[in-house]
Amino acid sequence: MGIFDRFKKKNIAVDHKKPEEPLALSENVLYLTRFCGVEQYPIQAAAWHLIAGDGTEDDPDTLCLDITCKAGNSLHEDTAQLEAEPIWSICFQSVHIPVSALQPGFCLEQPNPRGDTDGNLYYTEHQPTTDNRMEIIEADGARLKIRLNGITQDVNFYDGSKPQNILQLTAWFDRE
């Protein structure tokens, strides 16, 4: 099931046609799909760290991902003037996340069932990201290649008049 299919299943309004071919994602680039096209932001730094909980649902382990981007390419005229360098931070929680489990195929989702958000995109203001999903593609010691998806409100239209934006990236993350 593709990302657009999941949004339809959850009755999330996405005003994009499902592409015939999946978007060819280059590594180390944040892709921001907006109502007016796809903007690209080269990744300056990507880091991960793990915060140990006590192994209960009240205090779960937390895997934190922090992405800092450079100024974007292929920007629409309404965002080009903003000269934004986005920062995306997400904390995924699970009762137990052993470091040894952080191997290819490891996935975590943040469905935000109660409207809670543990994801945040700073574009020109802080705004929540929801329906975040991460998957480890490769591991090289403490470096993890992670595919990450999420959604957020449009980065320049905060009144809900535009469809939500889709965030996508595949990048190498260094352990902090």
Q: Which of 14, 6, 1, 55 is nearest to 154 (CA)?
A: 14
- 106 within a domain of the structure (yes/no): yes
- 10 within a domain of the structure (yes/no): no
Give 47: exposed, middle or buried? Use CB within 10 Å, 0-12, 13-18, 19+. Answer: middle
Q: Looking at the 3D structure of the chain, how many domains does it have?
A: 1
- 85 within a domain of the structure (yes/no): yes
Q: Residue 111 maps to which CATH number?
A: 2.40.128
Question: What b-and-e string marks burial along 140-172, b requiring 16 or more CB atoms within 10 Å of the CB?
Answer: eeeebbbbbbbbbbbbbeeeeebbbbbbbbbbe
- 75 within a domain of the structure (yes/no): yes
Q: What is the pLDDT along the chain (176 residues), one digit of tens a residue?
A: 444 444 444 444 444 433 334 466 789 999 988 888 888 899 999 999 999 999 888 899 999 999 999 987 776 666 667 777 889 999 999 989 999 999 999 999 987 655 566 888 887 777 888 899 999 999 999 999 999 999 888 776 766 777 788 899 999 999 99
Total-model pTM: 0.80
Provide DSSP, 23-57.
--PPTTEEEEEETTEEEEEEEEEEEEEEE---SBT
Q: What is the pLDDT of residue 117?
A: 64
Q: What is the pLDDT of residue 74?
A: 72
- 127 within a domain of the structure (yes/no): yes
- 169 within a domain of the structure (yes/no): yes
- 124 within a domain of the structure (yes/no): yes
- 8 within a domain of the structure (yes/no): no
Alpha-carbon dihedral angle through residues 125, 11, 65, 56, given to the nearest 10 degrees: 120
Q: What is the pLDDT of residue 75?
A: 67
Regarding beta strands 37-51 and 165-175, do their DSSP bridges make them parallel or antiparallel, or are they unpaired?
A: parallel
